Amino acid sequence: HWTLLSVSLLNCLLSTACSVGLALAIALTVHSRGMHLVRGCDSSALPDDARVAIATNDCPFNTTRIYDTALALWFPAMLLAAAEAVLSGRCCLVALIFQGIGPCARSYSKEQV
């Protein structure tokens, strides 16, 4: 039970950190209109909005769809990380109940007797 508690608590913390990091990345990307995504491209030919950026020879990657693709991948990843954090938290709560610790532990032990 202690292994379940420690692993689920660690996973809950890591999943929460991942979802917060992805939310921050999404917020910064939307706020800068995608210009942080094309920061490695030192070309004056790039427009102010990364959504209409064109592929140039100065950029090591194709910039035409990087804004939409990044957001399309980050939103589901953030939702899945948040769901994983919630499920890990519930698993941690169950491990605490099995150990006799927590708010529901007393009623659970009475039901077992």
- Secondary structure of 32-99 in the HEC alphabet? CCCCCCCCCCCCCCCCCCHHHCCCCCCCCCCCCCHHHHHHHHHHHHHHHHHHHHHHHHHHHHHHHHHH
| C-alpha gyration radius of the chain | 22
| Summary mean pLDDT of the chain | 77
The pTM for the full model equals 0.69
Q: Establish how many alpha carbons lie within 13 A of residue 54's alpha carbon, considering only the half-sphere containing its beta carbon.
A: 7
> Per-residue pLDDT tens for 25-68?
889 888 887 777 776 665 555 555 555 555 555 566 666 677 77
Distance CA 63, CA 66 (A): 5
pLDDT at 15 exceeding the cut of 70: yes
pLDDT in tens, 101-111: 766 666 655 55
Burial of 44 (0-12, 13-18, 19+ CB in 10 A): exposed
CA distance 29 to 66: 11
